[in-house]
Structure 1
Amino acid sequence: SGCPGGSPQDTVSNWITCPWPPEFTEALKYQWDEVAIPYWTEMNRFAAAHGVKLALEMHPGMLVYNVETMLRLRRAAGDAIGCNFDPSHLFWNGADPVAAIRALGDAIYHVHGKDVYVDPLNVKVNGCNDNKPYARLLERSWSFRTIGYGHDTKVWKDIMSALRMVGYDYVVSIEHEDMVMSGEEGLRKGIAALKEVAMFEPVGEMWWD
């Protein structure tokens, strides 16, 4: 979604994380009403005219960073805009991916298979917002991991089940950003984990109902 500056004079992005002081709220209103909504409304019109869907990743640091902001933009700009659902960012923000999937429903257009490890000791000291370099693993509050190395397979089975229940039947794309293992090993283990938790066959007739 990008993150506009806080005013027409700004030359860098400005991610607003709280409503005070009042200048923050004014900047946020400018970002939504004068930049993001007009821009994405036009992009939605263009995409819809060409039969294309736009999948925006809910990413902290961007204007669209959670379910609420994703749905706000979609309502304002149009439903050619949807979500690239990456559970890893929701985990470290304290959100529940399953609850998020159920809230987003058919707004999910693509899915990333990526996990995150949230370090409980560092979170207790510094909270979850962490802008230290990713290589400082022992100091960070969270780090991206291969599927199964941040959350166990039960969590991922619940995620895959929720995706199926809301009608998602498309790609789960492994995004490797694990600083603890190589890309090749991460890909192999990510594929193996997805094969265990994903469902591949049609449901079939519900004979017991």
Structure 2
Amino acid sequence: MKLGVFAVLFQQKPFEEALDIIAAHGLEAVEIGTGGYPGSSHCNPAELLADDAKLKAFKKAVESRGLTISALSVHGNPLHPQKAVAKEFHDAIIQTVDLAQRLEVPVVNTFSGCPGDSDDAKYPNWPVAPWPPDFQEILDWQWANKVIPYWTETGKYASDRNVKFGLELHGGFSVHTPATLLRLREAAGEVIGANLDPSHMWWQGIDPVQAIQILGRAGAIHHFHAKDTTIDPVNVHRYGLTDMQSYSNMLDRAWQFRTVGYGHDLKTWADIISALRLVGYDHAVSIEHEDGLMSIEEGFAKAVQNLQQVLIKQPLGEMWWV
């Protein structure tokens, strides 16, 4: 496994300066935003695809610092019921797949998206309860008419270019649990896998180690985010885990994102890393920093320090004791 970072953390800095910071912390991999919600401040796919010299310079900037690109990330909602919104996200995904092929990057990270409740809808509709039966009817319609058809077609486009999708299991989108990921993978093929982020498992009440076991046994983990979550033992009883308050209202929220080691101890993170090794995952552990209590620099540095203590890097080799 290689320790990396989602470089949008440093989007206010020029690309090469950001790479220098990442390399100086001893990291080996970088995940780069190419559009959608993460933005494209460090990477403009259209520009790189149109100019071989710029593409080569971009690749050299990464490789000359001893780094590899673990994934290109273009999170968005390509199933948005407003066609113009959906098209913008879709076009960014397709361009990113094309760029991943040219750069020989194995994974494009994004969200599954979430449709509306009909072809006439204006906004996404995320059903979270099976009753009243309206919700189940909406869910069935979404998967049959939007989720599966879209990802079957788009997945084939990526697979034909030797690129895989890492769908982040995130609340608010159709794929948000191991079960929903595996449901889509069964329908659309092995090109679909998870960009597994423990932080989103914890706030949904899912043990990340068990999620790794479930997805890993199916070979369905394509990328991994390292981010922590803490659940407030008092506020959660008032607002529940589906707390709709702004992330900035940290004093009152039921849960909040933290940097690695500040939501769960290093034994928990060691268990997570060990579970990844157990199921054969040997790609990047990519730090995502969204801790509202720490600066970018401090939160990033502490995540690096904590993960370096538990990351398993060397191949196991022969079990001499067996």
TM (norm. structure 1) is 0.98
Q: What is the one-letter code of the residue matched to 2:191?
A: A
Other-structure match for 1:10 = 121
Shift of 1:123: 1.2
**Equivalent residue pairs, number:** 209
Shift of 1:54: 0.5
CA–CA distance in structure 2, aligned partners of residues 193 and 12 of structure 1 = 40
CA–CA distance in structure 2, aligned partners of residues 141 and 126 of structure 1 = 6
Runs of 4+ in 1 over 2 A off after TM superposition: none
User: Could you list the runs of 5+ residues in structure 1 that have no partner in the other structure?
Assistant: none
Secondary structure at the counterpart of residue 144 of structure 1: strand
CA–CA distance in structure 1, aligned partners of residues 146 and 261 of structure 2 = 39
Other-structure match for 1:111 = 224
Could you report, residue by residue, the CA deviation over 1:86-134 in whole angstroms, capped at 9, with x for unpaired residues?
Answer: 0000011111100110100110000001001111111122221111011
Tell me if 1:161 matches 2:161. Answer: no
Q: What is the one-letter code of the residue matched to 1:127?
A: G
Tell me if 1:20 matches 2:131. Answer: yes
Secondary structure at the counterpart of residue 120 of structure 1: coil
Instruction: Give identity over the alignment, percent.
Output: 54
Q: What is the one-letter code of the residue matched to 1:96?
A: D
Tell me if 1:98 matches 2:203. Answer: no
Tell me if 1:55 matches 2:156. Answer: no
CA RMSD across the alignment:
0.7
Question: Of the candidates 150, 160, 167, which is equivalent to residue 263 of structure 2?
Answer: 150
CA–CA distance in structure 2, aligned partners of residues 27 and 8 of structure 1 = 11
CA–CA distance in structure 2, aligned partners of residues 152 and 21 of structure 1 = 40
Shift of 1:138: 1.1
CA–CA distance in structure 2, aligned partners of residues 137 and 165 of structure 1 = 35
Residues 239 and 253, structure 2, Cα contact 8 Å, conserved in 1: no
Shift of 1:26: 1.1
Question: Of the candidates 179, 187, 198, which is equivalent to residue 292 of structure 2?
Answer: 179
16-25 vs 175-184, greater mean Cα deviation: 16-25
Q: What is the one-letter code of the residue matched to 1:87?
A: P
Other-structure match for 1:139 = 252
Q: What is the one-letter code of the residue matched to 1:156?
A: W
Other-structure match for 1:35 = 146
Other-structure match for 1:84 = 195
User: Could you list the runs of 5+ residues in structure 2 that have no partner in the other structure?
Assistant: 1-111
TM (norm. structure 2) is 0.64
Secondary structure at the counterpart of residue 300 of structure 2: helix
Shift of 1:165: 0.7
Question: Of the candidates 171, 175, 180, which is equivalent to residue 64 of structure 1?
Answer: 175
Q: What is the one-letter code of the residue matched to 1:24?
A: F
